[in-house]
Amino acid sequence: MDTPLQQILYVAAAVVFAIGCRSFDNRFIQKLGWFSLLAASYLAGYFLTGQHIGGAIFIGAWFMLPWLEIIFRVRKLRFPIKSEIKHRFPPSREVFPELGELSREAEDVGFNEVGDTGWQWSQTDHFMRLFYHPDRRIQASVALAQQGDFGFSYVSLTSRAKNGVTFTTTNYPFAATMKHSPKHRLNRYTHAASLEDLLERHEEFLHTHGMDTDGLALQDTEYLHAYIERDMSAQIDHNITAGVIEPTGNGEFRYSWRGCIFLYWQVLKDMLRV
Q: Is residue 25 part of a domain?
A: yes
pTM (whole model) above 0.75:
yes
Q: Is residue 58 part of a domain?
A: yes
**65 and 99 part of one domain:** no
What residues pair up with 63 in beta bridges, in sequence order?
A: none
Whole-angstrom distance, CA of residue 251 vs CA of residue 228: 19
Whole-angstrom distance, CA of residue 218 vs CA of residue 246: 35
The pLDDT tens digits for 82-98 are 888 888 899 998 899 99
pLDDT (average), residues 48-72 = 85
**16 and 86 part of one domain:** no
Whole-angstrom distance, CA of residue 144 vs CA of residue 190: 15
* Residue 46 near residue 13 (C-beta atoms within 8 A): no
Percent of residues, the chain, with pLDDT higher than 70: 96
Residues 6 or more apart whose CB falls under 8 angstroms from that of 77 comprise 122, 123, 254, 255
pLDDT (average), residues 94-106 = 93
Q: Is residue 27 part of a domain?
A: yes
Whole-angstrom distance, CA of residue 210 vs CA of residue 216: 11
- Of 240, 236, 232, the closest CA to residue 258 belongs to 240
**114 and 203 part of one domain:** yes
- What is the pLDDT confidence band of residue 204, given thresholds at 50, 70 and 90? very high
Whole-angstrom distance, CA of residue 263 vs CA of residue 70: 8
User: How many domains would you assign to the chain?
Assistant: 2
**166 and 227 part of one domain:** yes
**125 and 59 part of one domain:** no
The pLDDT tens digits for 154-172 are 999 999 999 999 999 999 9
Confidence (pLDDT) at 38: 76
Which range (77-91, 202-216, 242-256) has the least confidence? 77-91
**113 and 12 part of one domain:** no
Indicate the Cα dihedral angle 218, 222, 225, 229, nearest 10°.
-70
Collapsed DSSP state (helix, strand, coil) of residue 184: strand
Which range (40-54, 68-82, 205-219) has the least confidence? 40-54
- Of 116, 108, 112, 62, the closest CA to residue 89 belongs to 116
**117 and 185 part of one domain:** yes
**212 and 164 part of one domain:** yes
The chain-wide mean pLDDT, for the chain, equals 88
The radius of gyration of the chain from alpha carbons, rounded to an integer in Å, stands at: 22
**263 and 135 part of one domain:** yes
Cα 139 from chain centre: 18
Q: Is residue 77 part of a domain?
A: no
**158 and 253 part of one domain:** yes
**107 and 223 part of one domain:** yes
pLDDT (average), residues 197-210 = 96
CB atoms within 10 A of CB 117: 21
Residues 6 or more apart whose CB falls under 8 angstroms from that of 174 comprise 270
- Domain region containing 170: 82-273
Residues 6 or more apart whose CB falls under 8 angstroms from that of 178 comprise 235, 236, 239, 244, 245, 259
Give the residue from 33, 48, 72 where a domain finishes. Answer: 72
**30 and 92 part of one domain:** no
The pLDDT tens digits for 18-48 are 777 767 766 677 777 777 777 877 778 777 8
Give the residue from 72, 91, 115 where a domain finishes. Answer: 72
